[in-house]
A and B are shown apart, each in its own frame.
Chain A
Amino acid sequence: MSASKTTYTEADYLAVDEYEPKTSGGRIANYMDKRVAGTGMVREFGRKVFPDHWTFMFGEVALYSFIIVVLSGAFLTFWFDPSMATTRYDGSYAPLQGLEMSMAYATSLELSFDVRGGLFMRQLHHWGALLFVMAMAVHMLRVFFTGAFRKPRELNWVVGASLLLLGMGAGFTGYSLPDEVLSGNGLRIIDGMLKGLPVVGTYISFFLFGGEFPGSEIIPRLYSLHIFIIPALILVLIAVHLFLVVVHKHTQYPGPGRTERNVVGFPVGPVYAAKAGGFFFIVFGIMALISGTFQINALWNYGPYDPSPVQAGAQPDWYIGVFEGVLRLVPGTIGDLSLDWVIPTPWGGNTVAFPILLGILPVAVLFIGMFLWPWIEAWITGDRKERHLLDRPRNAPTRTAVGTAAVTFYMIMWGMGANDIIATHFSLSLNDITYWSRVLIFVGPVVAYILTKRICLALQRKDRETALHGHEAGVIEVSPDGGFHERHQRLSDHELWTLTSFEAPRPSGPRPNAKGKVTAVEKLRAGLNRMWFEERVAPVTREEYQQALEHDHHDEDGGLEAAGSSQGRITRGGD
């Protein structure tokens, strides 16, 4: 696209038509090339190199499960009628015959009982949706913990985070469509949460439901979101996401032969295409197996939506669990003090529903933090470099610790979404689980942060020792003077490179701005920077390695190679 010629001779134009292909394949290619310039695509992608690693599959799983969900969803649309008009059920499922219900529920039952394969497709659609969000979440964790979101991929991280949110939105709008008791109560909770928003909440609820909850509008509105608006947005963002992957080229793990300037891997044609294409069928096959053998959302058990009945132990789809859990976590009253606060006003007061707002807050912080993370981290570390080599999680101890703290924070809220199930299955007190979780939500992330950082640093020290002294060979030797030593096996240069080719910067300290002043914000940054880099295990330097080799050499004079742990020197902060 750049540095292209700006002037062409007549011969250049004529040359396009002169080429005469010999084979039939060539003729087809030539036809396409003259019209859509296809050879450029083949030249670009035909042998494009993709790095290979099992953790790079999660994004693929997400893409493939989205395709599965689109295919199965398209099938369902041919029978499902998203209408809240009432009908009397006369399908083949006897227990519900004669009951008044919405067309949405009746056609969901028709799909389950009277359309052959309809139940299979429904289950494939639902399991596929669960996997879609799960795969995106795991993919994001991979990207986070390996630092793949760093420059130049920050915007693609935001695209990915948006896809995660959209996936959850797609899932929830679909979950509510069959209009039975379970999904109706899910909508009831949404309605209650909307009403808890100050100033605008009541009206948002009215507009969404077309009046007071539940009204007779919500199903068709959710349907329009579920099959058109949200999938269209997902599709567009997937296109952007993949386009940016091509623009940036894929990241790769550090290792021998890999640098910031190259990509090492398999070419698209044929190896990568075969593996990735085959993998689509594998994902599809596994989803089909699950959908054929594990029941999900047996909606004929619930009955048509009615505001009065409710099941105990009802659970939302897994990705909604965090919202559900945090709603259970926040207390509504502290002693006799209600958290529904009334602001006195001349017109009779306004009410702030803190039990709802305090529930939305932690999830909002988590998601906003997720979106902004690439910039937060770059601001703290001061790293402005392009990063195409991934971090092994242990080599970025603070990031890994922050990540596990966030995951712990999430998991406690998520687990609270199943506190009733945990209580019944483990014979625990529901109230105790809730009380403990109210403490854990504050303590858990801190403990996770400290533990993870310790573990990362310990793993780095182990790496360092291995690099300096080699692997334990499992051979004990006795020296002439009666000492016992274990023989150590030196690493190959390839292995050594993998263990030592990382950066462990030192804290940078506050820097004055252009006016020579150290601002409060800069002080904060410097403080965070110190927290980030202070404890460090430096990679083995050339001098250290040479010393270790010499050390070996001296030992060999005595016929032995030995490395006691006393020599496993550990470089600590400021060393």
Chain B
Amino acid sequence: MTASIIQGISDRRYYILGIMLILAGWQALAWASHPLIVASPGSTFGSIFEMLTSGELTKNLLITLQRQLTGLALGVLTGTVLGIFGGLRKSLDSMFQPGINAILATPSVIFVVIAMVWFGQGSTQVIFVTALLVMPIMYLNSAKGIQSIDSNLLQMVQVYRVPNRIKVLKVYLPGLLYGFMAGFSLSVASSLRITIMAELLGAQNGIGNAIFIARGYLETSKLFAWALLLVLMVMLIEAIVFNPLQRFISRWQE
């Protein structure tokens, strides 16, 4: 116990050291180059403060989050439902595989362009692309979760004539949960990236659009500010949602 606490403190120290090294490297790079090429940490934090006070940050952040969460929810829902069917029936899995592979193999920018043709610029396009690209991640992980349920356990529940409701609750759902969690944590980070890319190419507002405008006006510190904010957002989600959830579902592994 004490050893693990000491190990924890020492790990944390190295983590902070890692952050310091990045900041130092970043500052050194900023000193060595022009502010239009690399914005310094100071000017980046200045831009964040400026965007915060002007309301630009909150406005764009809310629009992007709304699109991301809608796309994520749709993608997670369809991917998980299809994944459950694919996991339970090999024939369905084989049937879904070509579609899933096609989506994964196609560069995502192509879907943005196609969606712009179909839906024009704006939220629908962004949500569609986000959902479409999250779906295969959830499909593969959910199907794998179901398929990796121990067949020995299924035989055991068959011998003891465990009712279907209990079978689903005690065997299938927890089995699915591990695949789901792996897919979901991947999807959250990916969906943010996809949403911003789709906004950058085909939306009139949101973080992606703000980045597009910042690039146009050569506001490098703003570009860096958005990049930093996005990294912080993903880290925050990990810290407040995933880590506690992961700890909760893996309590039986100790």
Bound pair (A, B): no
